[in-house]
A and B are shown apart, each in its own frame.
Chain A
Amino acid sequence: MTDRNASTQKGDPLLEFDVAKIKDDFPILKQTVNGKPLVYLDNAATSQKPQSVIDALVDYYSADNSNVHRGVHTLSQRATDHYEEARSKIRRFINADDDRELIFVRGTTEAINLVAQTFGRENIREGDEIIISAMEHHSNIVPWQILCQEQGATLKIAPIDDSGELLLDDFENLLNPKTKLVSLVHVSNALGSIIPAKRVIEMAHAHGVPVLLDGAQAVAHCRVDVQDLDCDFYAFSGHKLYGPTGIGILYGKADLLEAMPPYQGGGEMIRSVTFEKTLYNVLPHKFEAGTPNIAGSIGLGAAVDYVNELGIERIGAYEKQLLEYGTELLSQISSVQLIGTAQDKSGILSFVMDGIHPHDIGTILDAEGIAIRTGHHCAQPLMDRYGIAATARASLAFYNTREDLDALAEAIDRVIEVFS
């Protein structure tokens, strides 16, 4: 395409970033799909895994597989060491104060459900209020609806403007003595909007209200420092951070976690059990009933190593340039309308096209080897807010290139051609 010369020039992060070499670390990206080189632009759904993460899983199962915190034998000790090393690595990655504050869970969804079913049941009573925003994923809506129904509490929705920015004044006005928790998406999966998390947390804390951040779309793309944010809970999934599926983290401030009842009962989470009474284990084990996802945790640790090596700030800067390039390309196509144009935005290009349903866009792009997500992105109330049923969403990672976005723009031309 000669007429598509987006004006963004190569800046420092691009020059420092050897994408060809990075791409080489991801075996899955070396394939063709439907006869075309795979262009993977569905990173907000799940990211691909570098060889080092795959190796970490294979190595664990090949050399160290054993149960943790149980046996006196060598393998059990090794597995335990690796499992706890992974926790420490992730703790440093999000700059938490103490390993005890990181609970291994299945993913963001389980992390939020854990807080709802423990902190929520303990602290939220009839007439109380929980605040979420208009751009939450279903996983940060439904657990609170269930809790509100159980306890007779009310869910309050902080509105956004048409660009997808959280309306801070309206948010602040929702805070009142009945508010017992704020739970907000840090980066919107459907729009890419990054909320001013620190401001929001200050506002909530001024009213004595704790804040949970859903960081599923944040941790892989920007620096998350839970102490600097001063968030009370932070939830994220490993598989969106180049790690395995089925593993994620709930960070919680130690004093809050200490005061919370356990989530599930079973092995590991106990200190002693008699038929009359059970004493619970210390943090973080109190919340990790049963044999955990040991391999997944170790894989996530390896993913964090990989991201650290590239540098999360550099990743963020590179992806920002890609986003600007992609935004410019798609803006040049008159039948494409971008949904989500917040000032502070992560690498997500959500769009609709005149008279063409996102599913048809997705099928035609797939025929060109391009993987995007189409649908409501588990954010139906947000789709309703925009009066649409679905969007097509291209979401970026550091292994994507300008050529990938050129291919996207050309494939969109093909969509227009098919439907003309």
Chain B
Amino acid sequence: MPGLNDLYQEILLEHNSKPHNFRKMEEATQSAEGFNPLCGDIITVFLSVDDGVITDVSFQGSGCAISRASASMMTQSVKGKSTQEAEETFEAFRLMMTDLDAELDYDTLGDLESLSGVVEFPTRIKCAVLAWHTLRAALDGQSEAVTTE
């Protein structure tokens, strides 16, 4: 069993207790809802996109420490990036979450790497990627809520 300490790293716990960009964005250009029907976790991601650049991003909702911290880190990671760069970051993140042996792109991942321990807990991977799927839905202008199932 991989250690709990790899999962609940201090940086994750900090993001959980004091999430960044945890607010509703009135002036959002787009937003999307994400839902994990298995556990009831729910998240809304708000975006302000200007000329292909994510000028602001925020989220709201309720969920476990992993989903909340992942969402918080995601907002920090993609803020100021182009939508294309955000997609690339999602790809790097998804690879980290699905492939134990993957060569990680640390430059792109930055702080997100602290979530790498989640891959050892298969039941919790959905918690970590919910925010990212919701971000993509917001970028795509998807009107239906995304679900992890």
* Residues on A facing B (Cβ under 8 Å): 34-35, 355-360, 363-364, 367, 374-376, 380, 383, 389-390, 418-419
Contacts and interface: CB of A to CB of B under 8 A. Distances in A.
Ranked nearest first, the 5 interchain pairs of A and B with the lowest CB-CB distance are A357-B64, A34-B1, A359-B64, A389-B40, A376-B40
A380 B40 contact: yes
B41 interface: yes
B39 A360 contact: no
28 contacts: A35-B1, A355-B17, A356-B65, A357-B65, A357-B68, A358-B64, A359-B39, A359-B64, A359-B66, A359-B127, A360-B65, A363-B121, A363-B123, A364-B4, A364-B8, A367-B1, A375-B39, A375-B40, A376-B39, A376-B40, A380-B40, A389-B39, A389-B40, A389-B41, A389-B62, A389-B63, A390-B39, A419-B8
A367 B7 CA distance: 11
Given A355-B17, A390-B40, A360 B66 contact: yes
Contact of A418 (B4, B66, B124): B4
Contacts of A359: 39, 64, 66, 124, 127
A383 B41 CA distance: 13
A375 B66 CA distance: 15
A358 B127 CA distance: 13
A357 to B, nearest CB: 4
Interface in B65-80: 65-66, 68
Contacts of B41: 389
A418 B3 CA distance: 12
Contacts of A355: 17
Given A380-B40, A389-B42, A419-B8, 17 more contacts: A34-B1, A35-B1, A356-B65, A357-B64, A358-B64, A359-B39, A359-B64, A359-B66, A359-B127, A360-B64, A364-B8, A367-B4, A374-B39, A389-B39, A390-B39, A418-B4, A418-B13
Contacts of A363: 4, 7, 121, 123-124
A389 B61 CA distance: 11
Contacts of A360: 8, 64-66
Contacts of B102: none
B145 to A, nearest CB: 15
Interface string B33-54: 0000011111000000000000
